[in-house]
Structure 1
């Protein structure tokens, strides 16, 4: 993909920031944000974004106590056998039914657990396929990488919702990964199909 094509693709997202930047927040929809843990601890940032619901997808980080901000804890470790699928419906419903403001979904780095939850929400409430949900989130946060177990759970969820799968898993030296992940030197990034 050329640099111009990549920049053009990134413009579709409301906000694209590097995963490596401290407190980087990626805007997925006008009222849905994705980040690592740092952003959830920044009261000024939450207030500026109108965030009234935090979904904390980690067992290792505490829910911040900010006035006017509710926190839903999803205590799932970033390991392939963790049952993230058990939380897809509840998290998607909470995001969809947050009537008082915006929602921030975070895990430790905003690369695996929280993007998987956001993709499940997009499939459930925005009517997109897993392929489209992955492209959507990658446009906004290019360095996501849900683990292989979360991908399997997302594939099962897509099949439950739509009766088919739109993402193909392939064997790589790093294990079974979706065809959307490619390595470029020492870095990895999302690739649109």
Structure 2
């Protein structure tokens, strides 16, 4: 059960950790953001535990962006304890939502938000569709983007420019 602390009071995990009473209690989790695609999840009975369901599948055309603001506001407004954002594996949907939160409430660029999440959970890999939605969200928030999508032999991936001006993919 891998739980990653992205910020004080903000955790990222897969489904298994969200089902553990000890994981939730030891981190004082009072809000779970469930992006697992499962409607009925047998969370432990804990006082003050609220669950925000985000019914989005891990597919490139799934409308995750529709939930960016709602989830970010709930995370930001959770003053009673910690927040755990989880999907099935904690690799695509839940990290994308946390990156959106970091852009909205910490004013980080998408590149910076990705670096923060990746530092705590090195195996995050949002799908290409979620990257596109995050780029659109970044453009909406800041009027610019810090990444671009590029065609590679591995498919379409987010790319950033290094200090020499050469592009490199950040999601491989």
Distance in 2 between the 1:120 and 1:50 partners?
23
| Matches for 1:1-193 after TM superposition, within 5 Å | 23-60=1-38, 62-63=40-41, 64-68=43-47, 69-178=49-158, 179-182=169-172
TM, length-normalised to structure 2: 0.90
Conservation of the 8 A alpha-carbon contact between 1:37 and 1:61: no
Q: Distance in 2 between matches of 1:121 and 1:52?
A: 17
Where has structure 1 moved over 6 Å in runs of 4 or more? none
Contact 1:116 1:146 in 2 (8 A): yes
Whole-Å Cα distance in 1 between the matches of residues 138 and 26 of structure 2?
A: 34
Spell out, residue by residue over 1:4-51, the C-alpha distance to the aligned partner (whole angstroms, 9 max, x if none).
Answer: xxxxxxxxxxxxxxxxxxx10000001100000001000111000111
Deviation at 1:65, TM superposition (A): 4.6
Any unmatched runs of 5+ in structure 2? 159-168
> Tell me, which stretches of 5 or more residues in structure 1 are unaligned?
1-22, 183-193
Number of aligned residue pairs: 160
The residue number in structure 1 matching 2:166 is: none
Q: What SS class does the counterpart of residue 181 from structure 1 fall into? A: coil
CA RMSD, aligned part only? 1.0
CA displacement 1:101-143 (0-9 Å, x = unmatched): 0000000000000000000000000110000000000000000
Per the normalisation by structure 1, the TM-score is: 0.81
3-state SS of 1:87 partner: helix
